[in-house]
Structure 1
Amino acid sequence: MHSSDIAWNDEARAKILDDSDKVLREAVLELGTSLAGHSSDEAYEQLFARLKDRFIDFEPGPDIRKYADAIAAGDFA
């Protein structure tokens, strides 16, 4: 077996991705109700704080800014 052969199977990979989407979705929706009208930077900081310890090697990307902007604009019910 080669090191390149070591990977999650397709079912596990899909579950990992689904679970991570759920964590993101829950954080965005929760903050969407509590931080609507606040600054995008504040929403970004709160999203980062909620997500950073939930993932291995978490590095925020442009998605976090996109959702922070939407939270600040009140785009979530």
Structure 2
Amino acid sequence: MKIDDIRWNEQARAKILDDADRVLREAVLDIARTGGGITSDEAFRQLTARLKDRFIDWEPGPDLRRFADAIANGELPAASEPTG
């Protein structure tokens, strides 16, 4: 066996990504629903605080800024809207 053969199979990889997306989605929507009038910088800080200990080698990237901007601009669904 080669070192490159030691990796998650495709089903496990898909589940890992789905789980990571769910954690991100829940954090973004929760902050959007509870942070009325929040600034983009504050939303970014809250997202970083919620997510940094949930992922290995966490580094906030441009996607997190995009979601923080969407929170600040009220571009996310209201609490009563479906999230799917």
TM range (shorter): over 0.9
Aligned to 1:74: 74
Higher relative contact order (CA 8 A, sep 6+): 1
How many residues are matched? 77
Question: How many percent identity over aligned positions?
Answer: 65
1:18 has 2:5 as partner: no
Cα distance in 2 between the residues matched to 1:17 and 1:32: 22
For structure 2, list consecutive stretches of 5 or more residues without a partner in the other structure.
79-84
Cα distance in 2 between the residues matched to 1:28 and 1:9: 29
The alpha-carbon distance between structure 1 residues 70 and 36, as it changes in their structure 2 partners (threshold 3 A), is farther
- Quick check: which one's helix share is greater? 1
TM-score by length of 1: 0.96
Any conservation in 2 of the 1:36–1:73 contact (CA below 8 Å)?
Answer: no
Cα distance in 1 between the residues matched to 2:59 and 2:36: 24
Cα distance in 2 between the residues matched to 1:23 and 1:65: 16
Q: Which moved more, 1:47-56 or 1:34-43?
A: 34-43
